[in-house]
Copies of this chain bind each other. A is one copy, B any other.
Amino acid sequence: MAAKINAVIGQSGGPTAVINQSLVGVIEELHQHAEIGRILGAKYGVRGILSGDFAPLNHLSPDLLERVAQTPSSALGSTRDKPDEEYCRKLLESFQKHDVKYFFYIGGNDSADTARIVSDMALQTGYPLCVYHVPKTIDNDLRTTDHCPGYGSAARFVALAVLGDDLDNRSLKGVKIDVIMGRDAGWLTAASILARHEEDDGPHLIYVPEADFSDKKFLGDVESVYRRLGRCVVAVSEGIRYKAGDKNSLVADKAMRSGEVDAHGNKQLSGTGALGDYLAELVKKNLGAALQKKKDGKLRVRADTFGYLQRSFPTSASPTDAWEARLCGRMAAQYALGAPDGLASGSVAIRRTGDDPYKIDTFPTALGNVARQTKPLDPSYVVNGCDIHGDFKRYAGPLVGPLPIPGRLM
């Protein structure tokens, strides 16, 4: 009887609310295949493979598996390591040492690239290895797939947060700026539009990295909304940029460099309130006098940066997203073990097959179709550089799930 072959699963990059659904999906499917021996969880992504630090995943109780699936953040730990060729060579050595023939890597485009390099290297050296990437990112910026597991839940958090914040702003009027994750793509920020049921609901202005940002236009937009409604709720992506040509064109960079808010030494965008504070200060300085009301006194301007809650807040995962994340894990294992030639690396992609009712299926795609480059928000969704087209609700609505409809008395 042939020796059983082993499988490694790892998680990489920023966690999501449903990344463990994918992990459990892979495990569940591997259990169906008698040829699989040990199922090893790489602790802290590729780092655990390098150091041989694995969690045994064969004999977990169904109850624990289900609880893990419903727990946000990466249960195996994660890493920001971006392996180079030398690093990948060592990964391959570890796989050989542990008789690993299947490697499942749950992550974004960087993880897909790592998967691609390792897979190519195995091919070149003649080591039989199947590397399967399971898509994961709250940014929704992976190519080929219609949307990405992790996005729906983060988008749900954002839509709920802006919906609640708009009600707050109705009650105590002023200018409110909400800073949303998304360094390169505006998918997550765009989802804030789902909070807008009625014409006067916030967010009244939405800024994404796909449209050039200008302080002057921003101030004009805010003033115009405020004069119309007596308040203004703004959703803004952490990755908004000034017009190209300037290499350091991130508004957040300017916010951190300026005398007003200190440079932090590195260019992290999340985990700091600098951009929100910069924009709030801009509004106060430039519109404070113009929009001040005699009766109300000072113009009320506040900024919140939603931060890591967007990817880790428990209990608000989108059911659709959770289900699809699990499915993508399962399908990765099916594609990997079902390939007719035995071992074909790839990634799982989602195809939308119906809008009403919403339906999807999955298909395998080459790692090169997902690795490295990202997918920006379709520019046709961006309106006047400061809003998102209503059509976006058709795209994002089913991924986010139903939202509460506020009861209003005025």
Contact = CB atoms under 8 A, between A and B. Distances in A.
Interface of A: 11, 14-15, 17, 20, 41, 43, 55, 57, 60, 64-80, 160-161, 163-165, 167-168, 170-172, 176, 259-262, 264-266, 268, 270-274, 276-277, 280-281, 284, 298, 301-309, 311-316, 403-410
A232 to B, nearest CB: 14
A286 to B, nearest CB: 13
The winner among A15, A17, A284 for most chain B CB atoms within 10 A is A15
20 contacts: A73-B167, A73-B171, A75-B408, A76-B410, A77-B171, A77-B172, A77-B410, A78-B171, A164-B308, A164-B309, A165-B308, A264-B277, A264-B280, A270-B302, A271-B304, A272-B273, A274-B277, A309-B309, A314-B403, A314-B404
A161 B309 contact: yes
A78 B168 CA distance: 9
A233 to B, nearest CB: 11
**Nearest 3 interchain pairs by C-beta:** A273-B273, A271-B302, A67-B407
Contacts of A43: 410
A172 B302 contact: no
Given A264-B281, A264-B284, A72 B164 contact: yes
Contacts of A274: 273, 277
Counted per complex, copies of this chain come to 2
A170 to B, nearest CB: 7
Contact of A407 (B66, B78, B302, B305): B66
- Of the listed residues A160, A311, A408, A409, the one surrounded by the most CB atoms of chain B closer than 10 A to its CB is A409
A265 to B, nearest CB: 7
A261 B262 contact: yes
A222 to B, nearest CB: 15
Q: Please indicate which of the listed interface residues A11, A41, A165, A407 has the most CB atoms of chain B within 10 Å of its own CB.
A: A407
A54 B86 CA distance: 72
A72 B284 CA distance: 27
Contacts of A407: 20, 64-71, 75
A65 B409 CA distance: 9
A314 B67 CA distance: 24
Given A67-B406, A70-B407, 5 more contacts: A71-B408, A72-B164, A165-B312, A168-B312, A272-B276
A172 B303 contact: no
Contact of A15 (B14, B171, B284): B171
A75 B410 CA distance: 7
B75 A409 contact: yes
A123 to B, nearest CB: 29
A70 to B, nearest CB: 7
A179 B171 CA distance: 23
Contacts of A308: 164-165, 168, 176, 302, 304
Contact of A260 (B262, B276, B405): B262
A14 B313 CA distance: 23
Contacts of A406: 67, 71
B281 A404 contact: no
B164 A312 contact: yes
Contacts of A276: 272-273
B307 A284 contact: no
Given A281-B262, A309-B304, A314 B164 contact: yes
Nearest to A256: B277
Contacts of A268: 302
Nearest to A305: B273
Nearest to A266: B298
A265 B271 CA distance: 24
A217 B253 CA distance: 31
